[in-house]
Amino acid sequence: MHTDPAAAAALPDGRVLSADGGLPPALGDDFAQAVAAVAALLQEDVMERTWRVWPVCAADGVGLHPVVREGDAVWWCAAGGGHEAAVVGGLGAGGRQA
């Protein structure tokens, strides 16, 4: 039985990243939580395909994690006590802070 992916993103080179993990229906009630959940699913797909940490904080060189802070979905860096690296969708080429 074929099921559609839970999340997908088209890359500029035409490849499609997809994630089959489930998204709880309740995420539709909170846009930022839904964006962070989709980012986490796509992050997992990228890392499974490349065997590399993605995205990476430009300032600290460590992996970022999608979280919701002050009502926005952001890429969070845990280094140095933690800081926001970029809003989800705001990273530059290669998954680094723009």
**What global pTM score does this model have?**
0.74
Secondary structure (DSSP) of the chain:
-----SEEEE-TTS-EEEE-----GGGGG-HHHHHHHHHHHHHHHHHHHHSS--SB-TTT-SBEEEEEETTEEEEEE-GGG-EEEEETT-B-GGG-B-
Residue 52 lies in a domain: yes
- Count up the domains in the chain and report the number: 1
pLDDT of 29 reads: 76
Please give the average per-residue pLDDT across 77-88, as a whole number.
94
Query: For 22-47, what is each residue's pLDDT tens digit?
Result: 666 555 678 898 889 888 888 888 88
Residue 68 lies in a domain: yes
For a pLDDT cut of 90, what percent of the chain falls above it? 39
Residue 33 lies in a domain: yes
Please give the average per-residue pLDDT across 61-70, as a whole number.
95
Per the structure, the complete domain to which residue 46 belongs is given by 7-95
Residue 1 lies in a domain: no
